[in-house]
Amino acid sequence: MPGSKFCPQCGNKLERTLKFCHNCGFNLSALSSGKRSSQKSSRPGEPGSAQDPESELSGELPDTPSDPDDQEDQDDQDADTSQRYPPKIDIRVMGKNLEKVLEQIYKAEGYLTQKKQKISSTSGYYHEIDILAVKDNDKIAVECKNYLSPVGVEKIRDFSEKVRDLGNQWRGVFASYTSFTPDALECAKERHIELLSQDDIRERLYTALSSRASIQGDKIYIEDALPVNTGYVKVTHLQLKNKDTITVNRARLVFHPYMLYHYEIKKAWYEKKAQKARVYKKDGIVIVDLLDNDVIIHDAIKEHEIINHQPVKSLSIGVDQDYQVIQLEPNYKSQAAQNSAKIYTIEKYTNGEKLPFVLKKSDVILDNGQPLYVPKWDILFEVSGKVYKREVLACSGEVIFDPLAYCPHHKKLLGSKILMKKNIAACEECGDTFCIAHGTRCSDCNKWICKNHTITCSICKKPYCKDHISQGCKYCKDYVCSHCLVTCPTCNHTIGKNHMVTCDLCGKQNCSSCMSTSGKVIRKHYCRDTCEWVVQEQHEKKGIFGKMKEKIQ
């Protein structure tokens, strides 16, 4: 018997010495004997086939022979002992090769990728990025972290600062094969960082490599799917003032397969202290992802979507030129899905709770399960060369990720709660979104511009874009709008009108360089070389008293 603490196939923790893994059915005894055989499949999407997207990652899967003499693991076997356990993404392999998996996903989606690149930033420093993925104007910096514990807020905060320093055209993706803390989720939402957890990575992998995509004119029929109550027009609608400048770069409607089980636990036990027989009862719902037959956890939004909405028997979708429909092929095996559901249920009630008995999988009763597809919109928007991603559940309209909705520069902290301001527009210079406090419109052409691209006239204080204001003043070198620029009639220099001075003798206006000034208390201005001479002549004709009075003034 092997002494491993974890299953080498699925990574499931082994509480005691077993012949078979309770989670995936891996033949643990084969490890000690060195016997392994590959599972062959002729169907697309199963391991061993040429179309299997995970064959490179999961390696060979062993045969799982039945052992009728093994009573301890009898409840783990199917009625059909020749049935083999389903393929799963190897958690250990996926974790160790996370960068390779992410690069494979983006390559399949048409991106040009590079790993471990050092690129210069706006501050002059060089940042090392795990994966660079570029396709047209969409520039993605991907951070890959394989932690044993949930990713904390400090990692998201540091990565967001790195992405911001790379420049406005880059967007950040943080991928981890574990979950994220609540503070990390809030920070990523506020700073427009897309998070990819274990379930997200699996879905992206299957979507990129093994899904069936529609083409224009197709009519797609999907059984047992949640209805699409949020259509393409609604999901691409924007509340921004300049929404006409924003285009849809890509739109996909992805149907993800799940299985909904209702479970019931009835465990009879005898309480010695009370000298009474008692029955332990629990019931509830557990959801299994049919891409890998594992329970979904740490995803309250999807759980709420599945539990609170009823699927329709048949859903018909006509595909037009606006979006693509993708149906992910389920990899459903009843024994593995039920094993996952039972193990999760047992751990749910035994972790942190001291039960006076041991719960076994035979104590967990499952119904036949309800298979269903959950539709999700995956939209890419583009504005001024910058790309934004929006993810929305198509049945309820619940938003999963939408950086176009809230301003990334305006936040207030109320305890640990982040209050964000809604965006009003996207900058038509750089594509950055902003709220009313971090952007405005050009006073000349009405173009929406962010704070970084707003130039304020030093005289009238009105905002302008770079095309409608320049450093027009010869004297102070400040930005002056065309409405505040004047030409001196004497020297013909173009200056801001705040530098024009009125002659106290003739009333003519000139720039300050073309005027002379006299008086200490009451200062007077005269046109140089003209009115100045006239005043001097008048001064010479005055008496001593008049000169003293003028000097005092």
- Can you tell me the distance from the alpha carbon of 495 to that of 509, in angstroms, rounded to the nearest whole number? 13
Please check the confidence at residue 204 and state whether its pLDDT lies above 70.
Answer: yes
Each residue's pLDDT tens digit, 212-255: 556 666 788 899 999 999 999 999 999 999 999 999 988 999 99
Per-residue model confidence (pLDDT) at position 421: 85
Per-residue model confidence (pLDDT) at position 373: 95
Per-residue model confidence (pLDDT) at position 16: 52
Per-residue model confidence (pLDDT) at position 81: 31
**Mean pLDDT for all residues in the chain:** 79
Give the pLDDT band of residue 19 (cuts 50, 70, 90). low
Give the residue among 162, 44, 8, 173 at the shortest CA–CA distance from 99.
173
Residue 149: exposure state from Cβ atoms within 10 A (0-12, 13-18, ≥19): exposed
* Number of other residues whose CB lies within 10 A of the CB of residue 485: 17
Instruction: List phi, psi (to 5°) of 520.
Output: -105, -40
Per-residue model confidence (pLDDT) at position 418: 55
Each residue's pLDDT tens digit, 266-312: 888 888 888 888 888 999 999 999 988 889 887 889 999 999 999 99
Per-residue model confidence (pLDDT) at position 329: 86
Q: Which residues contact 244 (CB under 8 A, 6 or more apart)?
A: none
Q: How far is CA 163 from the centre of its chain?
A: 13
Please check the confidence at residue 155 and state whether its pLDDT lies above 80.
Answer: yes
Rounded average pLDDT over 64-78? 39
Per-residue model confidence (pLDDT) at position 428: 92
Each residue's pLDDT tens digit, 96-140: 588 888 998 999 888 999 998 888 888 888 899 999 999 988 999
Give the pLDDT band of residue 419 (cuts 50, 70, 90). low
% pLDDT > 90, the chain? 33
Please check the confidence at residue 89 and state whether its pLDDT lies above 70.
Answer: no
Each residue's pLDDT tens digit, 479-503: 898 888 888 888 888 888 888 889 9
Domains, the chain, with CATH or none: 1-93 (no CATH), 97-210 (3.40.1350.10), 414-453 (no CATH), 487-552 (no CATH)
